[in-house]
């Protein structure tokens, strides 16, 4: 059986989704958008407002935003490329919700992020604590502007 890959992304503004769709196209992988049950509004994403939804979630390490229903069959994948924007130096809490929902035992997880300023930072290693089972982690990378040649080179290293 061939190695089957999933690209799963959370994208609040569309940037991470565009990058993830390009990675999926180049890798010949399936694409899945990690969708919150309640979509984020621009007010929710206002990081300058300490009472905005995203600020409240990110300031509470136990926050787990609810996911929209999906029929994702995680068992059918060997490799999961997971993408997210950087919020407050780490992945948004909804990524933790997603990682805690599924069993990733025996899978390879390859994180990537998009960010206006910061790099991957501690975001990829922070996520390790949310995954149960025996998982092979690849080092996370930042990809803001999908360049096919660079993505192919990266995928050749990690897949």
Query: Per residue in 17-57, pLDDT tens?
Result: 999 999 999 999 999 999 999 999 999 999 899 999 999 99
What range defines the domain where residue 67 resides?
Answer: 5-158
Residue holding tokens 């790099």?
119
Share of residues in the chain with pLDDT > 90 (%): 78
| DSSP code, position 130 | G
Distance CA 96, CA 78 (A): 19
Q: Is the torsion defined by CA of 102, 105, 106, 110 positive or negative?
A: positive
Domain count for the chain: 1
User: What H or E segment, with its residue span, contains residue 23?
Assistant: helix 15-27
C-alpha pair distances (Å), 41 with each of 13, 32, 36, 54, 113 = 10, 21, 11, 10, 21
CATH number, domain containing residue 97: 3.40.50.360
Phi, psi of 28 (to 5 degrees): 65, 35
**What predicted TM-score, i.e. pTM, was given to this entire model?**
0.93
pLDDT, the chain, mean: 92
């Amino acid at each position: 059986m061939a190695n089957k890959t999933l690209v799963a992304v959370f994208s609040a503004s569309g940037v991470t989704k565009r990058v993830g769709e390009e990675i999926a196209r180049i890798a010949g992988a399936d694409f899945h958008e990690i969708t919150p049950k309640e979509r984020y509004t621009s007010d929710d994403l206002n990081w300058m407002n300490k009472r905005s939804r995203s600020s409240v979630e990110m300031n509470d390490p136990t926050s787990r935003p609810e996911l929209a229903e999906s029929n994702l069959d995680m068992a059918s994948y060997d490799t999961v490329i997971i993408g997210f924007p950087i919020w407050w130096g780490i992945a948004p809490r909804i990524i933790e919700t997603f990682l805690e929902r599924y069993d990733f035992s025996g899978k390879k997880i390859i994180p990537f992020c998009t960010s206006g300023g910061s790099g991957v930072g501690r975001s990829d290693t922070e996520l390790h604590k949310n995954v149960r089972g025996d998982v092979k982690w690849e080092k996370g990378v930042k990809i803001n502007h999908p360049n096919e040649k660079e993505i192919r080179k990266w995928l050749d290293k990690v897949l």
